[in-house]
Amino acid sequence: MVFLQHPRERRVAIGTARMAHLALTNSELHQGVDFSDNPRLAALAAKPERVAVLFPGEGAMTLEEARAHPPESLIVVDGTWPLAKKVVSVNPVLAGLPRIGFTPRRPSNYRIRSEPAEHCVSTIEAVVEVLGALEGDQPRFDSMLRAFEFMVDTQIENQSSRQEPPRRRIFKAPWRPPLEMRSLAERFPQLVLLYAEANAHPLDAGIPPELVHLVASRPSTGERFEAVLAPREPLARSTPLHTELPESVLLAGEERHAALGRFEAFLRPGDVLAVWTAYALELLWRDGVTRRPAVNVRLATARALAGKAGGVEQAMALLGAEVPALWAQGRAGRRIQALEAVAQELVLRGRATQPPLKKKGA
């Protein structure tokens, strides 16, 4: 791991690159903006087939693609997004290296610092996500987040007990809803909500999960889609239990090619798939469905709740969202119902022109 940190970030007490650097013995931390004369970066760039840059952008590899050809060294640009973009633009050598981008498994817990988009996470969270995926041992790297989470919780606790007046900016921009909610509101006509269930065997069985129940809805028009897909692999013992569908229904499901063809026909050019977790997308891509832009509704929900979102049904209750009618079967039916309720509530908040009223005692 090679961290390239913008000098301004060095002075930020709640920055996380140094925390990640200290947690990883095989890592380096370099500070600066222009690294054109940096011999270490030059040495790495001389072997582009062995290096990748953790930074989103056009042409960036997904984690699945990176796992197929994992780099030996990973360069991480650290700073606020404007500062990190500047480091990348100032150093053409970075633009010539392969990039890795990803959709987070869960919302960022960096609740003491605002992020510019719903897919953005802190440096240490990004490092944990990518290393866990590339090395196939996510729990090992998740343990790196303990110090980070302690820091966040401590900052929030101290802020709540602060006695002196809060700091105020002299110039204050007009209020707008958080970016994650504004983004959902702006994309509302193109949003397709999605939930999927899998025929999932135990890890030691060596059988990859496969899509068996797919539900989707277009909230802007009320169009809905449901398909139960016949499994190709033997049905796992737990599948009828977690899908809440009888074994007979699963085994009598639709032929896979036909079901996915119907789903492709349901989608339109420009659609954006909205999911609670990236697992549903992974199941679709594995079956060859055409990749499309996607957003994580859970990230926007965490921003709306100013904390952890939990499961989608729990989030629906916490947001006080209006519950639509149940229209699909099994657990997927309840989950897509809750996802519809959450998305509608977030879109309403994303269109708001005034900040929400604070509850008494809050």
Cα–Cα distance, 231 to 197 (Å, whole number): 11
What's the structural domain count of the chain? Answer: 2
Q: Report the CATH number at residue 284.
A: 3.30.420.10
Among 132-136, 216-220, 349-353, the range with the most confident prediction by mean pLDDT is 216-220
Distance CA 202, CA 208 (A): 9
Per-residue pLDDT, 172: 61
Span of 130-134, 289-293, 305-309, 335-339 with lowest mean pLDDT: 305-309
Per-residue pLDDT reduced to its tens digit, 216-234: 999 999 999 999 999 999 9
20 and 73 belong to one structural domain: yes
Residues 152 and 88 in one domain: yes
Q: Residue 291's domain spans which residues?
A: 179-351
Residue 220 φ/ψ, nearest 5 degrees: -70, -25
Digit-coded pLDDT (tens) for 63-113: 888 888 899 999 999 988 888 889 988 888 887 899 998 877 776 777 766
Residues 244 and 289 in one domain: yes
Of 130, 161, 192, the last residue of a domain is 161
Could you give the percent of the chain with pLDDT greater than 70?
93
Q: Are residues 275 and 347 in the same domain?
A: yes
Same domain? For 71 and 103 the reply is yes
CA proximity to 1, closest of 43, 47, 55, 54? 54
pLDDT of 361 strictly over 60: no
Q: Are residues 53 and 142 in the same domain?
A: yes
Check whether residue 288 and residue 197 sit in a common domain: yes
Grouping H, G, I as helix, E, B as strand and the rest as coil, residue 76 is strand
- DSSP calls for 164-225: SPPP--SS-PPP---HHHHHHHHTGGGEEEEEEEEE---GGGT---EEEEEEEEETTTTEEE
Examine the pLDDT at 339 and tell me if it is beyond 90: yes
Q: Share the mean pLDDT of the chain.
A: 88
Of 161, 189, 217, which one is at a domain's C-terminal end? 161
What phi and psi values does residue 113 have, to the nearest 5 degrees?
Answer: -150, 130
Indicate if the pLDDT at residue 46 is higher than 60.
yes
Q: In angstroms, rounded to a whole number, what is the distance separating the alpha carbons of residues 176 and 173?
A: 9
